[in-house]
Amino acid sequence: MANAAGSHGGGNEPRRVLEFYSGIGGMRYSLMRAGVNAQVVEAFEINDRANDVYEHNFGHRPYQGNIQCLTAADLDSYGADAWLLSPPCQPYTRQGLQKDTGDARAFSFLQILELMPFLLKPPSLLFVENVVGFETSDTHAKLIEILDRTNFVTQEFILSPLQFGIPYSRPRYFCLAKRKPYSFVNEIWNRQLIQSPRPLYEHFHRQVIEDDLSQEDRHKLLQSCQPIECFLELKNPSNNIEVETATSLTGLSNGNPRTLGEGDDNVCDTLQQYYVPLSLVERWGSAMDVVYPDSKRCCCFTKSYYRYVKGTGSLLATVQPKKRDKASLKEQCLRYFTPREVANIHSFPEDFKFPDHISLKQRYALLGNSLSIAVVAPLLQYLFTNL
């Protein structure tokens, strides 16, 4: 069994947890950070490389069979108190075909849902994470219908790391469900879609939250975030705001690439591999989201980030221009965030590591499919309260 125990729960037995679509362990790290008294009794993941990373960090290899083959008896046998699910998002993404329930990648999640009415030992808690857009899908309608039928009460959220002080624009949909007689701390939000984290920290007697932030509120939210430089492992040796040459900054002028700092876990320990080719800057520069070390926001990193496709993530300017505009992009020596930096922005702990055989491209892809621990941890803490 895989442990994820914390301080909440006193002398009680740990809550038994099933982790579906476990990926590289973001949900389990969130459970640990939430400090709830819980034990992951099994994780399920079909991706072999993701399981390599999970096993490397937790010493437990997830079940790699087809989830669609699980029966109600199989699920009952775990005696799980909670199910945590982060099913494939491609059926619902803006950049995907949005086939919804017609997408084969949605079938396993639908199968799990359809087994719930037949369970002799259904979970008391259920947590689902997915992309914004899932909440309007047929799959979502099926989820809510089955939860209602199996005596669950739900609260739904759309939240971004920006609301938790992380300079990362990655809004995600979350469904929290409790089976009666268990109840939420703030019952007024039952059957509601909430776009504020305040219910996670405050007790409300009436609905007072305004979901739609004014422009002034959004500015204050961004200002409350930590700057991106707090999440970087590769720092510029100069804080000079004047434009410097890439040669003096990177040390690549004589053909000898500068190695990264101590503790770097990348496949090829060279700085050069992270710089964006000028050919890409020339072709896609107008569409690139460029950020700076003092920026308070960056865009969502996707699994296609390292080969750069429009909308796959922000790029970091390593040379400060006199004027921050698209005309000077070639002078700004753009680079990709390293996998460790992307992991930092996802709030993975410092001791999270990739096995050496996982390639750079695979690391980006696996991180692009992961979740924000800074957001999920307080949601799980809220879900496990009042048990």
pLDDT in tens, 332-378: 999 999 999 999 999 999 999 999 999 999 999 999 989 999 999 99
Reference 19, options 45, 49, 48; nearest CA is 45
Is the model's pLDDT at 263 over the cut of 60? no
Higher pLDDT, 172 or 327: 172
Query: Span 252-278, mean pLDDT?
Result: 54
Q: What is the pLDDT of residue 105?
A: 60
pLDDT confidence of residue 211? 53
| pLDDT of 260 | 40
- Over pLDDT 70: what percentage of the chain? 77
Non-local (6+) Cβ contacts of 216 within 8 A are: none
pLDDT at 218: 58
* Whole-number pLDDT of residue 117: 96
The overall average pLDDT reported for the chain is 83
Closest CA to 331 of 247, 257, 235: 247
Asked if residue 168 lies in contact with residue 297, where contact means CB atoms within 8 angstroms, the answer is yes
Model pLDDT, residue 359 = 95
Backbone angles phi, psi at 293, to 5 degrees: -55, -30
Residue 30 burial (C-beta neighbours within 10 Å; 0-12, 13-18, 19+)? buried
**Once rounded to an integer, what is the mean pLDDT over residues 269-298?**
88
What's the pLDDT score for residue 213? 54
What spatial distance separates the first Cα and last Cα of the chain, rounded to whole Å? Answer: 22
Query: Can you give the pLDDT at residue 328?
Result: 85
**Averaged pLDDT, 3-10:** 45
Lowest mean pLDDT among 83-97, 122-136, 166-180, 184-198: 83-97
State the pLDDT at residue 40.
Answer: 98
Banded model confidence at residue 283, pLDDT cuts 50, 70, 90: confident
Judged against a pLDDT cut of 50, whether residue 320 lies above it is answered with: yes
SS3 content of the chain, % helix, strand, coil (to 5): 35, 15, 50
Summarize the confidence of residues 257-286 as an average pLDDT: 67
Contact 49, 24 (CB under 8 A): no
Catalytic positions, please?
A: 89
Q: Does the pLDDT value for residue 57 go beyond 70?
A: yes
Q: What pLDDT does residue 29 have?
A: 98
Q: Is the pLDDT of residue 319 over 60?
A: yes
- The confidence score (pLDDT) of residue 239 equals 42
Query: 177 or 310: which carries more pLDDT confidence?
Result: 177
Q: Kindly state the average pLDDT of the residues 89-104.
A: 52
Tell me what pLDDT residue 215 has: 54
Q: What pLDDT, on a 0 to 100 scale, did the predictor assign at position 309?
A: 60
Q: Minimum mean pLDDT among 102-116, 244-258, 293-307: which range?
A: 244-258
Q: How many residues does the chain have?
A: 387
Residue, of 171 and 303, whose pLDDT is higher: 171
